[in-house]
Amino acid sequence: MTAPTWLHENFEPTGSSIGFRVTRKLDEVQSPFQKIEIFESTDWGNVMLIDGAMMLTSRDNFFYHEMMAHPALFTHAAPKRVVIIGGGDCGTLREVLRHPGVESATQCDIDEQVTRMAEKYFPELCESNGDPRAELLFDDGIAYMANCAPNSVDIVIVDSTDPVGPAEGLFNQAFFESCHRALKDDGILVQQSESPLALLKLIREMRTEMGKAGFHSFQTLPFPQPCYPTGWWSCTMAKKAANADFGFRADAARSKAFDTLYYTAEIHAGAQQLPPFVARALGG
């Protein structure tokens, strides 16, 4: 490209579009699973697309990575073993490993090329890849969870793309049953759960599938995410017990020994208060 132009993702399910002004394409790789593209933007740093869908930008990825990690880790009483399914850009892994009590964090993403592109164009997200507590696997996350030892994991974070293509099997009862079996009784499942503005039906369906798998308590937390459709996203936590408490260690969140750009104890508490239209749609 010789002059800035506009890069758009048209998102048919929401009848909307997300766009960034870009100066050039930095790289493109067709992996066995998907096409990964990296663009240089004028205002948002580098931009990663997977199969034409916006995945992350240098400027705004912290919303997603912090909210996928910290609410669950501060909700659990003492998380020691964390498994991340997907998450190939390694940003969620970085946030998980900010918690000194975590003894091991396994990231299992089917596509190694996502991580290699992140290492090159988003190195700040990969700064914990060499942590001795980190294990990076490039394999089928569905099979990994199916083979995971029962009652061996404190938190499972499903950091996936939209429920199509390689990620389609990460939103159904069979996969959630594997997560349920691998989690300890007080374990927490976290799933990225799309836009609460435009995709509430998908969130309801996802929670139904979790319920069929044996999870009985849910909490959906919305947060801003400018590079995703509608600019408003969410994660959903699930616990095994009925009427489980989603109170979190607010004092620990306030006194954490690491810096965050978005997550705070107050942000966490605020996200628990769903807007009425979302609360009604999700049954409270």
Structure tokens at 103: 């003894």
Compute CA distances 98 → 40, 92, 143, whole Å. Answer: 28, 10, 27
Active-site position among 111, 159, 162, 251: 159
Distance CA 25, CA 246 (A): 43
Dmax over CA atoms of the chain, in Å, equals 58
CA 201 to chain centre: 19
Characterize the bridge pairing of strands 16-30 and 35-41. antiparallel
Distance CA 264, CA 29 (A): 37
Q: Let me know: does 254 contact 228? Beta carbons within 8 Å.
A: no
Task: For residue 131, indicate whether it is catalytic.
Answer: no
Which residues form the catalytic set?
159
